[in-house]
Amino acid sequence: MNHKGKRKFLVSICLLLAAFAVLSACGGNSNSPKSSNATGSESAADKQVTIKYYNFDSAAQEVGTKAMLQEFEKENPDIKVEHVILVPGNSLEMLKKLDFLISSGEAVDVVNVPSASAVIERATRGALAPLDEYYAANNLVAADEYFVNPKVGDKTYGMQMSTGYQFILLNKDALDAAGLPVPTYGWTWDDFRDYSKKLTKGEGVDKQYGSYFHTWELYMNAPAQTVMKDPFRYDDGTTILADPTYKYFFQLRKDMETVDKSAKPYADVLASKLNYRTEFFSESAAMILSGSFMIPDPGNTEQYPHDFKTAFAPVPLPPANAQPKDYEGGKYFVGGGHLVMGATSKHKEASFKLMRFMTTTDSESRNEFSGWKKSDQNVVLDRLIGANADKYDVESLKNTLFGPEIKYLDASQVVTTSTADLTKVIGDGFSKFMLSSDSIDDVQAWMVKEATRIIDEKETK
């Protein structure tokens, strides 16, 4: 090779070495970091994950959820959330569809389910991921964060999204006219009966009953629905229909109708298909047991025209002679939805981050009380009350919801799948007692027999 040829060869080698050095510097090495954006950080497109959030939003609720998810994505650009409404506005059908998705093997990330019992039922089937390791990784203790923490064994499966409270609404003007103070925590159903008698006035179509009971099972045995963990079974799995609260409350209802004549007869309620909101706001009844979904109603004078102010009281407690088995000293059952993480989720850390955001944010889009203990519930309360605060005894409402004496029960670990059958037994037994001359002892014995049969045939021990 002559001198000119050697020089060409050397130039070619140099060019090859230079090209190799450029390639290496640009990431040819598999251990080098991914390409960076202008700020020097990993690009959002490269690191972003997508998770799915399932629920049963109605059209109105969807707007608020969409706004909350947009806030989350803005704070967490590495996570994209796909909002999946399984069945709009129908929690029962939504759960059926969810179970189908889980059984088909779909990767389920985060789901808003309607109750703690819905959490436990799916956790016992292995469909959900326990949250404890994610709480620990974030230096959190579930019991310090949420009112109700559904568990199976020592593992936590639900993160409380919302809280549904129960209380008594009272016509404050009627209370004042009767010289009665607004009741506070600790009053009993015997006291409620006494108030009902004193608030009853008038005759015929103009009569104001002291109280109104609707057709739901809530009104057939209120203590079972408000101060017991499960309205159907004790912690040992047996039926609660043998509980002393049944005999007490059934008899209370009948005596208020037939002896005191301070509650509209059950037969009339059934025959007339009455609306419980109308009964209260039309002043046909001065008291009604209901829940926090009715908080906006006193201020909605366009839909429910009325002039009086509404006061609020905690749900009465059973008297000493009628306290349920396993009674926990006046703690209340609290409802509400829970977020759960699917066992099949491929992005569990991102899912946990979404769950924490959804349960702890005080977003303006939130229109229900949070299950997070550290939430400023007054923010939501002010939003629910709206502009017509003069229609509320606000102090009594706040004391009823957030007073220092108000405590809540833990979630029951009993999973009852035959709720429809057991609810029918309660309804049939109540109607049998209220509309016939059958004795309470005979009716309760029949209810216990039927409920025990159903539990033995359909429930897992």
Secondary structure string (H, E, C) spanning the chain: CCHHHHHHHHHHHHHHHHHHHHHHHHHHCCCCCCCECCCCCECHHHHCEEEEEEECCCHHHHHHHHHHHHHHHHHCCCEEEEEEECCCCCHHHHHHHHHHHHHCCCCCCEEEECCHHHHHHHHCCCCECCCHHHHHHCCCCHHHHECCCCEECCEECCEECECECEEEEEEHHHHHHHCCCCCCCCCEHHHHHHHHHHHCECCHHHCEECEECCCCHHHCCHHHHHCCCCCCECCCCCECCCCHHHHHHHHHHHHHHHCCCCECCHHHHHHHCCCHHHHHHCCCECEEEEEHHHCCHHHCCCCCCCCCCEEEECCCECCHHHCCCCCCCCCECCECCEEEEECCCCCHHHHHHHHHHHHHCCCCCCCCCECECCCCHHHHHHHHHCCCHHHECHHHHHHHHHCCCCCECCCCCCCCCCHHHHHHHHHHHHHHHHCCCCCHHHHHHHHHHHHHHHHHHHCCC
Give domain status of residue 224, yes or no.
Answer: yes
Whether 415 shows a pLDDT value over 90: the answer reads no
Domain assignment of residue 360, given as a range? 46-163+336-375
pLDDT of residue 460: 65
Whether the pLDDT of residue 221 is over 90: the answer is yes
Q: What's the pLDDT score for residue 46?
A: 60
Q: Which tokens hold the place of 91? A: 């929690």
Q: Is residue 370 part of a domain?
A: yes
Would you say residue 332 has pLDDT above 90?
A: yes
- Give the per-residue pLDDT at 296: 93
| 58-82 mean pLDDT | 94
For the cut 50, the answer to whether the pLDDT of residue 209 exceeds it is yes
Share of the chain above pLDDT 70, in %: 90
- Are 149 and 192 in a shared domain? no
Task: Please report how many Cα atoms fall inside a 13 Å half-sphere around the Cα of residue 268, on the Cβ side.
Answer: 11
Question: For the domain that residue 296 is a member of, what is the CATH number?
Answer: 3.40.190.10
Give residue 13's pLDDT: 39
Q: Is the pLDDT of residue 395 over 80?
A: yes
73 with 203, same domain: the answer is no
Averaged pLDDT for residues 338-345: 97
Does residue 132 share a domain with residue 233? no
Do 211 and 260 have their domain in common? Answer: yes
Residue 178 lies in a domain: yes
| pLDDT band at residue 20 under the 50/70/90 scheme | very low
Would 396 be classed as within a structural domain? no
In the predicted structure, residue 5 carries a pLDDT above the cut 80: no
| Interval 55-68: pLDDT, tens | 999 888 899 899 99
Does 22 have pLDDT greater than 70?
A: no
Q: Would you place residue 351 in the very low, low, confident or very high pLDDT band (cuts 50, 70, 90)?
A: very high
- Pick from 294, 292, 314: which is nearest to 183 by CA? 314
In a domain, 34, yes or no: no
Same domain, 281 and 419: yes
Residues 69 and 181 in one domain: no
What integer pLDDT is reported at residue 273 of this predicted model?
Answer: 87
What was the pLDDT predicted at 461?
Answer: 54
Structural tokens at position 452: 């025990």
Confidence of residue 162 (pLDDT cuts 50, 70, 90): very high
207 within some domain: yes
Same domain as 176, residue 156? no
pLDDT at 95: 94
Does a structural domain hold residue 394?
no
Which of 5-9, 270-274, 388-392 is least confident? 5-9
Residue 139 binned pLDDT confidence (cut-offs 50, 70, 90): very high
Residue 276 has pLDDT above 70, yes or no: yes
Question: Of 315, 272, 344, 291, which is closest to residue 406 (Cα–Cα)?
Answer: 315
Q: Examine the domain organization and report whether 253 and 291 are in the same domain.
A: yes
Task: Answer yes or no: do 358 and 218 share one domain.
Answer: no
Confidence of residue 117 (pLDDT cuts 50, 70, 90): confident
| Contacts for 278 with CB less than 8 Å, ≥ 6 apart | 284, 304
Burial (Cβ within 10 Å: 0-12, 13-18, ≥19) of residue 124: middle
Query: Binning pLDDT at 50, 70 and 90, where does residue 280 land?
Result: very high
Structural domain total, the chain: 2
Span of 15-19, 241-245, 301-305 with lowest mean pLDDT: 15-19
Say if residue 17's pLDDT is above 60.
no
The answer to whether residue 415 sits within a structural domain is yes
pLDDT bin (cut points 50, 70, 90) of residue 172 is very high
Q: Which amino acid is at 361?
A: T
d(CA 284, CA 214): 13
Q: Of 375, 393, 425, which one is at a domain's C-terminal end?
A: 375
For the segment 63-82, the average pLDDT, to the nearest whole number, is: 95
Are both 142 and 250 inside the same structural domain?
no
Tell me, yes or no, whether 109 and 65 share the same domain: yes
Predicted model pTM? 0.80
Interhelix angle 348-360/59-75, rounded to 10 degrees, is 120
Report the pLDDT value the prediction gives residue 175, as an integer from 0 to 100: 98
pLDDT in tens, 148-158: 899 998 999 99
Pair (52, 141) in one structural domain: yes
More confident residue, 347 or 33: 347
Mean per-residue pLDDT of the chain? 89
